[in-house]
Chain A
Amino acid sequence: MDINDRDNLKEFVYELYGAQSRSWAMNEKVFDIVYKMLNESSACTDLMDLVPRPHALGKAPIKYLTKEIRSSVVRKLKQRKEYYSSCLKVVALNYKTHIQMAAMGL
């Protein structure tokens, strides 16, 4: 992930989890978890329409999505962060511990 993708992802994660996420480092694992949340949430389907189907089962999204698609996903997450954080809010509680660990490199 390049610095722009990281910044966009960080802004979205901040919107979702608040001030505690300030110390979290954005990396490929965090992207994969956010992507998993999007995939799981039935309310954010419009964003997932950007992603080519079928999904590669058992493979981390960061590995099979092209850089352009990844950048496009995180850019849209940032641009409409209120909307996407709202539609992910119930799913986000299930993944908070996962994201904390990933962001701390665990």
Chain B
Amino acid sequence: MLVRKVALSFLLCVIYTQAWSQTFIISKDIQLDLPDSAIILQSGNSVLFKYPDWVLSHQIIDPKTFYPNVDLTGLIQIYIRNIFEPKEGELPNWLQFIAKEQAKAFKVTNKNTSQFTLGEFEVYCVFDSVEKNGNIYLVGNDYVSHFNVLSDKQGFYQFLNVLKGSI
């Protein structure tokens, strides 16, 4: 009787775990294995996963609404790159100025940023350890995908490793 009860509990536990395992598909090649989240929130074009001690949000950037009253259609990829790696002459001066201001707001320095390639995407990341706020941009040919991670440094880099291993 006891053995049967233990076996049943184990089976229920396995079923429960399988039912709640989460794979978050970003593109045909990128699939993230995320821990079970406490709350999943859909807000506009963003999906937000709220865990007890960290938050992850994801959205596909709309170049028309990235900033109020600035249409970045056709420029969004270059613009995001210029936040992290400014190159003279790639953007109009006024937009280059905004990219510089954005880099300041993200607190971009050589020490808290990284860049790598993930399949078809160039990935640009920055982590602000004071505000515990990380931003990850996946720059593709056709669109830009954005993750915002509200977490401590360890949690941010843990998520970055999940992202790197997702392909």
A residues whose Cβ falls under 8 Å from a Cβ of B: 15-21, 23-24, 82, 85-86, 89-91, 93-94, 96-98, 100-101, 103-104, 106
Contact = CB atoms under 8 A, between A and B. Distances in A.
B167 to A, nearest CB: 25
Interface residues of B, number: 27
Given A89-B70, A90-B102, A100-B48, A19 B65 contact: yes
A23 B42 CA distance: 10
Nearest to A16: B68
Nearest to B43: A100
The majority secondary structure among interface residues of chain A is helix
Given A100-B43, A100-B48, A101-B55, A94 B68 contact: no
A16, A21, A90, A96: most-surrounded residue (chain B CB, <10 A)? A90
B67 interface: yes
Contact of A93 (B45, B50, B105, B131): B105
B87 interface: no
Contact of A23 (B39, B43, B150): B43
A18 B70 CA distance: 12
Question: Shortest 9 CB-CB distances between A and B: which pairs?
Answer: A20-B44, A18-B65, A90-B105, A85-B68, A90-B102, A89-B67, A97-B57, A90-B101, A100-B43
B44 A94 contact: no
A89 to B, nearest CB: 5
Nearest to B100: A90
18 contacts: A17-B44, A18-B44, A20-B44, A20-B45, A20-B46, A20-B65, A82-B69, A86-B69, A89-B67, A89-B68, A89-B70, A94-B128, A94-B131, A94-B133, A97-B46, A97-B55, A101-B41, A101-B48
A4 to B, nearest CB: 23
Interface in B52-72: 55, 57, 65, 67-70
Nearest to A89: B67
Given A20-B65, A101-B55, A106-B41, 13 more contacts: A17-B65, A23-B43, A23-B44, A86-B69, A89-B68, A93-B102, A93-B135, A94-B105, A97-B46, A97-B57, A98-B150, A103-B43, A106-B39
